[in-house]
Amino acid sequence: MLAAVLDIPGPVKQSSLLLREVPTPKPAMGQVLLKVRACGVCRTDLHIIEGDLPAYDRPVIPGHQLVGNVVESSSTAVQKGSRVGVSWMGGTDGICSYCQEGKENLCDNPIYTGYSRDGGFAEYAVVDADFVLPLPRGMDDLHLAPLLCAGIIGYRSLKMAEIKPKQKVGLFGFGSSAHLVIRVLQSWGCKVYVSTRGEGHQSLARRLGADWVGGEVDEIPAGLDAAITFAPSGDVVLAALRALRKGGIVAINAIHLDRFPCFDYDSLLWGERQIRSVTNMTRADGREFLALAEKIGLEPSVQQFRLRDVNSALMSVRHDEIEGSAVVVP
């Protein structure tokens, strides 16, 4: 099969992933083999490729927002021929204290799709049968793929920020995840304030009906009840705190921050404001979000790339040139 392989982490450039013919993987007991129909591109892929996240064994095939058809299955729970989704959480040990407490997103020994196990920038992928997600029938592969990480982790961010209907919510950064989150917030009757760089992202936020759109240094004209940050920068977290009312929560939707600067506790955090990290997702998050996405008719804005052009897709995400989500189609 054709696959885009990461050999040595380094700066994202036109040849970051190497296109190779590699053996088609074989599923072991409890696994299924998927013929990949689409795979979304996530900023976490960039963190893996650039070496921001510590390396597992190399080489690896990145990509963790997979839509695929089951072509081989050793599980009675997942039928051959079915269309399923796979997200970042590719498996857990099931026995650590976090798994036993129902917090599988915090598992001590997780499997990460496209990071600790080969992922979806390929024609086929092997995944654990217990971690595939059933998909809404009425949505096509291209528009389902971004829901499987950008959507699910965005939904978990809303839960971590304890957002309630009719609240004032700030979104700091407006890429793949945020452009899905705004639709959920609007379905809850929330007012949405978007702070983001780049005219393309600001224009998309306006088209999607944000109540206010501004740049990174613009002051938001309302005390926010909650905020979610999407940019991998500690400075953005501080900007969100500055816009927050007392008692509010900032949820950080990022697996990596470039730095976290010192800040003034008295003016930014005092008043029972909270900062929370958002770590991975659970299968329950995935099922809840996909059902909600189907209910509200959520459809991402997508730009399609061929598998052979995966490096161009990564470069476009790296330079904030995508309005919505980039999706690779073998």
* pLDDT tens digits along 28-68: 999 999 999 999 999 999 999 998 888 887 799 999 999 99
CA distances (Å), 130 to each of 54, 78, 84, 185, in order? 26, 8, 11, 30
Of 261, 277, 293, the residue that ends a domain is: 277
pLDDT, residue 285, reads: 97
228 and 190 fall within a common domain:
yes
Q: What is the CATH number of the domain that holds 90?
A: 3.90.180.10
- How far the first Cα of the chain sits from its last, in Å, is 10
Residues 289 and 267 reside in one and the same domain: no
Contacts of residue 54, Cβ cutoff 8 Å, sequence gap at least 6: none
How many CB atoms neighbour CB 310 within 10 A?
Answer: 25
Q: Taking a C-beta distance cutoff of 8 angstroms, is the pair 37, 125 a contact?
A: no
pLDDT digits 0-9 by tens, 212-253? 999 988 899 989 999 999 988 888 999 999 999 999 999 999
Tokens at residue 105, please?
Answer: 């997103």
For 196, the domain range is 151-277
Let me know: does 146 contact 328? Beta carbons within 8 Å: no
Contact 35, 123 (CB under 8 A): yes
Q: Return the residue matching tokens 């005219």.
A: 199
Return the CATH number at 192: 3.40.50.720
pLDDT, one tens digit per residue, over 195-216 is: 998 888 999 999 999 999 999 8
Tokens linked to 35: 């013929």
Query: What pLDDT, in 10s, does the model give residues 249-298?
Result: 999 998 887 877 888 877 788 888 999 999 999 999 999 999 999 999 99
165 and 191 in a common domain? yes
What's the Cα-to-Cα distance from 268 to each of 236, 238, 242, 296, rounded to whole Å?
13, 8, 6, 35
Q: Are residues 132 and 30 in the same domain?
A: yes
Q: 3-class DSSP state for residue 41? A: strand
Enter the pTM of the model: 0.92
Same domain, 61 and 89: yes
Same domain, 155 and 96: no
Same domain, 12 and 59: yes
Asked if residue 141 and residue 6 are part of one domain, the reply reads yes
Domains held by the chain: number: 2
- 84-139 pLDDT per residue, tens: 999 999 999 999 999 999 999 999 999 999 999 999 999 999 999 999 999 998 89
* Residues 76 and 202 grouped into a single domain: no
- Domain termination site, one of 277, 299, 319: 277
Task: Quote the tokens at residue 41.
Answer: 């591109």
Same structural domain, 168 and 311? no
Q: Are 112 and 180 in a shared domain?
A: no
| Domain C-terminal end among 277, 302, 318 | 277
Residue 185 φ/ψ region, left for φ over 0, alpha for ψ in the -120 to 50 degree band, beta for the rest = alpha
Q: What is the pLDDT of residue 189?
A: 98
Asked whether residue 168 falls in the same domain as residue 243, the answer is yes
**How many C-beta neighbours within 10 Å does residue 270 have?**
10
Contact 224, 243 (CB under 8 A): yes
Please provide residue 26's backbone torsions phi and psi, each rounded to the nearest 5 degrees: -115, 130
Cα 150 to its chain centre, rounded Å, is 3
